[in-house]
Amino acid sequence: MSNPQPTAADHHDRLTDRVLAEALGAERPPDLSAAIASRLADAQAEVAAPSGRTAMQTRRAWIVLLATAASLMAVVLWRGVATVNEPKVALIEPAATEAASSATASSSHKPNAATPPVAESSDGPIMYVGNYGDPPDSGDGSGTPWAINVLDGPERVSGEVFVPSEGQTFPGLELANEPRVYFNPRNLAKDSSGGRAATPSAPVAKPGQSQTYSISPERVEELKSLRKQPATPAEQSPSSGAYGSPSVVNQGDLKWFKPVELGKDAQMPRRDSGWFHSIDKLYWSESKPSTAIGLGGLINDATVPSGGVKIGRDFYYREPPLHDRYEAIHENAFTKPAGEDALSTFSIDVDTASYSNVRQYLLDMRRLPPADAVRVEELVNYFDYAYEAPKEAAEEPFAASLGCFACPWAPSHKLVRIGVKGREVDADKRPLSNLVFLVDVSGSMNDRNKLPLVISGLEALTDRLGENDRVAIVVYAGSEGVVLPSTSGDRKDEIRSALGRLQAGGSTAGGAGLKLAYEIAERNQIGGGVNRVVLCTDGDFNVGLTGTEELAKLVETRAKETGVFLTVLGFGRGNLNDAMLEEISGRGDGHYAYIDNEKEARRVLSRDLSGTLVTIAKDVKLQVEFNPAKVASYRLIGYENRVMAAKDFNDDTKDAGEIGAGHTVTALYEIVPVGVEEPAPPVDGLKYQPAPVEEDAARVDLIGESAQPTVFAAELLTLKIRYKQPEGGASKKLEFPLEDAGKSFADADDDFRWAAAVAEFGMLLRGSSHAGDATLDSVLEIARGALGADDGGYRAEFLDLVRRAQELRGR
Amino acid sequence: MTVMSQPLPPTADASLPRGRAAPALDLGRLVRDRQAEVWRYLRYLGAEPTEADDLTQETFLAVARSTFVEASDQQTAGYLRTVARRQLLMLRRKQKRRCETTDLDAAETVWSEAMWRDRSHGDPWDDHVDAARDCVEKLEGRVRQAIDLTYHQGESREAIATTLGMTADGVKTLLRRTREKLRECIEATLRPNL
């Protein structure tokens, strides 16, 4: 029944309703000026530049059209020409099931006797679209250990997989940016009787080897004819439109899979479980938690609880290769405090990226991280410590807390902790902020752990902004562009609306985007305020300005000349250029965080907003002078790529790290006290040098010319901190001496023990030669006893990391 | 089915003396001055707030693409409403939904009659809002409570029914009658100005 036509009285009533809504404050029209201006600018840019989005879309439409025509022509050609470039995919079979796999690969189908057969649901065509793991490097997938779709139901499906080449398209199927595997189980059933299956071009591979399959021209033809068949109503739900055309999906086969809404991270499957996705839904098979790493890679031992149908039981696939790049870390060795070597100098580092990166490896990927991904100081600095803050009236922007206790992994050694706490700045007292979000929207960001996380993180940050803040959003992909001009932080709807418009696609012109972001930040610069570019990327700049040094010089120059600092937020996995992001964040007077989940995004961009944005001191350098009368040798734990020459400490032209409001920074030294046997020196003694003076005598000489103990003789070390105000100028120096009270590790406070446990964990993950008696069990034991208040549950989560590492190492 | 017509903008030829060049459209000012009006009009036609946000932007983008020149205040307002109406219809077609306000011509008439006054004498919408506030002040008892719960506190009809010990339909009738009284009061307040 349709509604009756509204009368004039209804319209009057509605108008009065609207007037009342505004009169009584129920709603107000928003200010859309900036959003409209931004969209107008985009529209004008598109008109001016044919490479704009519209042109791109038109071009894509043409490409799809041409590719469709080309694929049709290819079928004709393939019939007559045998030597064509066939789309390929590599398949890895386990040794244990080699025989069975061989049979399967040659397209024989054996029902699984252990499980009830799945009823044939309809005679309609069935097409699954999906993928496992990462896409191959190249469009054709050749030579890449590409994870395969397999559906091991009553009919094994394998040998009938192919990856469409780039540009290749199929009517009714929507291709995403990445190549996907298409296969057709029903089609294979026909193959078993009809004998038209594509045959492997080489014998079935053993674990770790790859097997190439190809699609025959006949199969392409058959798939196309299948797609033309009409859909039945049952096939249209729930995946109607899921693959561009419901006619290629049979719902009966979806019962093995569980649909979820995209974007709900908690519900997302692990990377190694079977899944395929549609435009708006993700489907994945229920997996056992017992997935393990085998010789051939991850073993996907998945079952469907309801029907007991096994999926991929015999199927193994190698872990997709990661292309994350890390700078090699060479651990600091023990150093004797003789001459200038009595000084240990390094730049402060408040980055936390390594911890969240390690967390993602362990918790999400169930892998031990590569050693070079583990920067011990960033693991330690990830946590909050209750160090004493600088006094309200104090001129210095930070205070230092020193402590010395027995070293837990080498009880005869000492562990010295240097804790630095920056002045807190209340969120409502933050200085005026001028922020430019520079968001990488290149095709590689089209992943649930990337752009959606960027958007939710920036939305969390937007919630914390106010009228004193200005925000602009610049994106870069194939070309750079302004999504939101500099806009007041209280116009949250406009900012959210701009964030909502972000979409991934294209290559990565990061350098040009970076330049544009700096230009906007400089144009809207706030004197005495926070001026910062916040770069959100997976890190690979593959178009334009791409070299790390080039980019680093750009940000360094801008930071020095204009006072616009850089914060770098890394996202995603597989292409992460960790080394470059760390380098440019440091050179750009900023810091680097890695965002692996929404909680981390909120932590960095909402909870710790002041620390993330407000720099309270720059070029902060630490120099520790060790007393050779007490210290036989020392070793700085972590900070390997922050170590500086002793002479650089007093050289104000030498750049160093920044510290944000409320940030805590922890540095740990392992010390071998005098009289304790020292670790073996890394090099043999020198044969042609003058005979060494007796060590004790040398030590006395170093204390003073008179060879008498000085008034400082009781001191273990002196910490010197040099820093500049954020706006620059000459540096200032602070000094803090430390005496060793000879306390045991058990006497240490929770924070000290916690930092020691985390450092121990980091050393174990790195496979450090200095880990001594450390074990994951001892890490767990120390950490359990030092949890403290644990606001936010971050320390409890660390225990999960340690347990996962134990599991992965087989205890 | 409502026929969707293409709005015909007043052009330079039609609105300017012969031989005089058309002034460039000051889109920034137009957006600043008129965006609230367009947004309210879309809400009046039944657009959700977020839809009104998007469609207001689309309206001005469409105006920017057109050859529109400003001839008079009334003509500009009418043209913007026509474009906005068209945007809403396009959206509803895309959503395969009927427009909430099916008789758009009648709705347009009601709106234009209420808001016809030249803006040089002040924004007629603001006058309506001011008058509405004064009129609401005159309400008492359950009627006032129903209005406050609806517009101040955003309560649902069912919640108001529970609070006032009425049925939901009773609340609907009460609110409609109250709005009718308020409309009469608003019109009476504004009449000397008209």
pLDDT of residue A248 exceeding 50: no
Q: What are phi and psi of A406, to 5 degrees?
A: -65, 150
pLDDT attached to residue A636: 95
pLDDT of residue A295 exceeding 60: no
Taking only the tens place, the pLDDT of each residue in A431-487 is 888 889 888 887 677 777 788 888 888 888 888 888 888 889 888 765 557 888 889
Token pair 């045998």: residue: A82
- Of B52, B65, B103, Cβ closest to residue A6: B103
Residue numbers in B near A21 (CB within 8 A): 151
Cα–Cα distance for residue pair A18/A769, rounded to 1 Å: 73
pLDDT attached to residue A344: 93
Taking the CB of residue A810, how many other CB atoms lie within 10 A of it? 6
Structural contact between residues A762 and A374, judged by C-beta atoms closer than 8 angstroms: yes
Q: What are phi and psi of A430, to 5 degrees?
A: -60, 145
- Of residues A70 and B175, the one with the higher pLDDT is B175
Count of pairs with CB atoms under 8 A, one residue in A, one in B: 121
Which candidate, A605, A727, A627, places its Cα nearest to that of A671?
A627
DSSP for A530-558 reads: EEEEEEEE-S---SSS--HHHHHHHHHHH
B79 Cβ under 8 Å from any chain A Cβ = no
pLDDT of residue A228 exceeding 70: no
Taking only the tens place, the pLDDT of each residue in A91-111 is 222 222 222 223 222 222 222
Cα–Cα distance for residue pair B49/B39, rounded to 1 Å: 8
pLDDT attached to residue B37: 92
Taking only the tens place, the pLDDT of each residue in A659-718 is 888 888 999 999 999 988 777 666 666 777 665 555 444 444 444 444 455 667 788 999
- Which residue type does A496 have? R
Q: What are phi and psi of A170, to 5 degrees?
A: -130, 135
Contact B101 A11 (CB under 8 A): yes
Number of helices (H) and strands (E), helices first, in chain B?
9, 0
Q: What are phi and psi of A64, to 5 degrees?
A: -60, -45
Structural contact between residues B7 and B86, judged by C-beta atoms closer than 8 angstroms: yes
Best mutation target among B29, B31, B42, B189 (most A Cβ atoms within 10 Å) is: B31
Taking only the tens place, the pLDDT of each residue in A630-665 is 999 999 999 998 899 999 998 888 888 888 888 889
Taking only the tens place, the pLDDT of each residue in A589-601 is 888 888 888 888 8
Q: Which domains does chain B have, with CATH numbers?
A: 12-116 (1.10.1740), 124-193 (1.10.10.10)
pLDDT of residue A142 exceeding 90: no
- Of residues A628 and B9, the one with the higher pLDDT is A628
Q: What percent of chain A has pLDDT over 70?
A: 57
Q: What percent of chain A has pLDDT over 90?
A: 15
User: Any bridge partners for residue A623, and if so which?
Assistant: A345, A720
Taking only the tens place, the pLDDT of each residue in A766-794 is 989 899 999 999 999 999 999 888 888 88
Structural contact between residues A520 and A473, judged by C-beta atoms closer than 8 angstroms: no
Q: What are phi and psi of A719, to 5 degrees?
A: -95, 130
Contact B107 A11 (CB under 8 A): yes
Pick from A590-604, A625-639, A744-758: least confident:
A590-604
Best mutation target among A18, A33, A42, A497 (most B Cβ atoms within 10 Å) is: A18
Cα–Cα distance for residue pair B157/A461, rounded to 1 Å: 36
- Of residues A754 and A728, the one with the higher pLDDT is A754
Contact B39 A26 (CB under 8 A): no
Query: The tokens of A571 are what?
Result: 């996202």
Taking the CB of residue A144, how many other CB atoms lie within 10 A of it? 20
Contacts of A371 (CB under 8 A, 6+ apart): A329, A765, A766, A767
Taking only the tens place, the pLDDT of each residue in A23-64 is 887 788 887 777 787 777 767 665 554 444 444 444 555 555
Average pLDDT over residues A197-210: 29
pLDDT of residue A309 exceeding 90: no
Token pair 């089609």: residue: A187
- Of A16, A30, A493, Cβ closest to residue B183: A16
Residue of B nearest to A6 (CA): B103
pLDDT attached to residue A711: 65
pLDDT of residue A418 exceeding 90: yes
Instruction: Specify burial of residue B75 (Cβ count, 10 A radius: 0-12, 13-18, 19+).
Output: middle
The CATH code that applies to domain A432-613 is 3.40.50.410
pLDDT of residue A617 exceeding 70: yes
Residue numbers in A near B28 (CB within 8 A): 33, 37
Structural contact between residues A690 and A654, judged by C-beta atoms closer than 8 angstroms: no
Q: Cα separations (Å) of A83 from A74, A88, A216, A705, A787?
A: 12, 14, 12, 86, 65
Distance from CA of A47 to the nearest CA of B (A): 11
Pick from A368-377, A758-767, B62-71: least confident:
B62-71
User: Any bridge partners for residue A212, and if so which?
Assistant: A90
Structural contact between residues A661 and A406, judged by C-beta atoms closer than 8 angstroms: no
pLDDT attached to residue A73: 52
DSSP for A758-791 reads: HHHHHHHHHT-TT-TT--HHHHHHHHHTT--S-G
Residue numbers in A near B116 (CB within 8 A): none
The CATH code that applies to domain A339-425+617-676+695-744 is 2.60.40.1230
pLDDT attached to residue B152: 79
Cα–Cα distance for residue pair A645/A648, rounded to 1 Å: 5
Sorted by where each begins, the domain ranges of chain A are 66-317, 339-425+617-676+695-744, 432-613
Contact A11 B49 (CB under 8 A): no
Cα–Cα distance for residue pair A236/A233, rounded to 1 Å: 5
pLDDT category of residue A153 using cuts at 50, 70 and 90: very low
pLDDT attached to residue A571: 86
pLDDT attached to residue A378: 92
pLDDT attached to residue A548: 67
Taking only the tens place, the pLDDT of each residue in A534-556 is 888 877 665 455 566 777 888 88
Contacts of A656 (CB under 8 A, 6+ apart): A347, A348, A618, A619, A620, A621, A644
Query: The tokens of A309 are what?
Result: 């149908």
pLDDT attached to residue A405: 95
Coil, strand or helix: which one is A603? helix
* Strand blocks (E) in A408-461: 410-422, 433-440
Structural contact between residues B151 and A27, judged by C-beta atoms closer than 8 angstroms: no
pLDDT tens digits, chain B, 194 residues: what are they?
333 334 444 444 444 444 444 556 788 888 888 999 999 999 999 888 878 888 898 899 888 888 888 778 888 888 899 999 888 888 888 777 766 666 778 888 888 888 876 666 678 888 899 899 889 988 888 888 899 888 877 788 888 998 888 998 999 999 999 999 999 999 888 876 44
B146 Cβ under 8 Å from any chain A Cβ = no
- Of residues B54 and A764, the one with the higher pLDDT is A764
pLDDT attached to residue A680: 67
pLDDT attached to residue A161: 32
pLDDT category of residue A18 using cuts at 50, 70 and 90: very high
Mean pLDDT computed over every residue of chain A: 66
Structural contact between residues A661 and A423, judged by C-beta atoms closer than 8 angstroms: yes
Structural contact between residues A402 and A741, judged by C-beta atoms closer than 8 angstroms: no
**β-bridge pairing A715-725 and A664-673:** unpaired
pLDDT attached to residue A27: 81
